[in-house]
Homo-oligomer: A and B are copies of this chain.
Amino acid sequence: MANNLRIAVIGTGRMGTDHIKRLTHRIAGADVTGVVDIDAGRARSAAVLAGDQAKIWDDPHAALASGEYDAFVLTTPGMLHYDVLMDALGRRLPVFCEKPLTADGPTAREIVDAEAEIGRRLIQVGFMRRFDAGYRRLRAFFEDGSLGAPLMLHCRHRNPDPPPNFTDALMIYDSVVHEMDGVRYFTGEEITEISVRRGRTTTGGDGKLSDPQQVLMRTESDVLVDVEIFVNALFGYQVHTEAVFERGIVDIGNDEGAYIRSAGRWGGEVTPGFEQRFAAAFDAEFQGWVNRLRAGAAPDGPSAWDGYAAAVCCEAGVAAQQTGAATAVYLGDKPALYRA
């Protein structure tokens, strides 16, 4: 195998440090040799996590310009992504970009257009669920047609505990965005329409959210989608998807693990959070990305187009929340680079 990939991680918050640990301890063929953060203390801590071999930077553009890195992992807040991605595209440097691609649809579209202009994929967006074994198995049923055409998708996204200052809009941008990407991944179609239903609100939260909500979507071929988004689901984390095909039904995300009968109950332990639920998916996502780059190939995970589509869907979702009306989703032309 070629030498290990030299990677700089830009942003050393929670996601950034998680990825540094992953790349250092669980991913073959990559070394974190650079960390970038304007907070010098945080950057130093991150460098230690990388085995003390990482150079510290406070300016991502300097790191990009240095020539010392084969690839970048971008985990700063979304509003900082645009400049870094544009700089990286200009230098033809590959970037693994955590969602969101950028702060909004129009800037995301600019990234898409810039990459399409280059004519080669450099960006991969961090929709890790696409690397989950269940997601892959379910998608195969959409692709092989063995159960006939898809008709409906029922999605559950339950979180035990939202971050502080969570808002209705963030329920779309942070949580439902994964379901939106899942719908696009499974069906291979774009989402065309979104509406949101609000009902009784749990007393289990802080009272500022309308929680749970139901997000209704429709795809190009009229597959109907309903999403329950519930971010104060006190029993534990759950992501569950049920696909209805003409000749069968497929569920993924069912409860698994050790099965216990005790104290009058049978069953098992609920997965506490997304870190546990998607641990293997995160690893597979990064290993696949590293393997592609080491082999000299372009990344084949979620693309800038996927990030852009998610941004537009989220904006439509928030509009639907606010207006109560079904909201259309318009993406415009899809550049050839992103057609299969």
Question: By the criterion CB–CB under 8 Å, are A257 and B134 in contact?
Answer: yes
Stretch touching chain B among A37-45, A65-73, A258-266, A313-321: A258-266
User: Provided the pairs A152-B212, A200-B224 are in contact, do residues A1 and B28 lie with their beta carbons within 8 angstroms?
Assistant: no
| Cβ 8 A contact of A200, one of B2, B134, B223, B261 | B223
> How far, in whole Å, are A232 and B251 apart by their CA atoms in the complex?
19
Q: A1-19: which have CB < 8 Å to B?
A: 1-2, 4
29 pairs, A vs B, C-beta closer than 8 Å:
A1-B24, A1-B52, A2-B51, A23-B28, A25-B29, A25-B291, A133-B257, A149-B200, A151-B212, A151-B230, A152-B199, A154-B154, A158-B249, A214-B224, A230-B244, A232-B246, A233-B244, A235-B247, A235-B248, A235-B262, A235-B265, A236-B264, A247-B263, A248-B262, A251-B260, A252-B258, A252-B259, A256-B256, A266-B269
CB closest residue in chain B, given A53? B1
Copies held by the complex:
4
Tell yes or no: A322 within 8 A of B by CB.
no
User: Provided the pairs A4-B4, A214-B226 are in contact, do residues A265 and B268 lie with their beta carbons within 8 angstroms?
Assistant: yes
Interface size class of A (residues with CB under 8 A): 35 or more
Question: By the criterion CB–CB under 8 Å, are A222 and B199 in contact?
Answer: yes
> How far, in whole Å, are A154 and B269 apart by their CA atoms in the complex?
22
Q: Please give, as numbers and ranges, the residues of chain B lying within 8 Å of A267 by CB-CB distance.
A: 255, 259-260, 265-268
Report the minimal beta-carbon distance from A144 to chain B, rounded to whole angstroms. 13
Question: By the criterion CB–CB under 8 Å, are B154 and A228 in contact?
Answer: yes
Question: By the criterion CB–CB under 8 Å, are B255 and A266 in contact?
Answer: yes
> How far, in whole Å, are A150 and B212 apart by their CA atoms in the complex?
11
> How far, in whole Å, are A199 and B216 apart by their CA atoms in the complex?
12
Tell yes or no: A50 within 8 A of B by CB.
yes
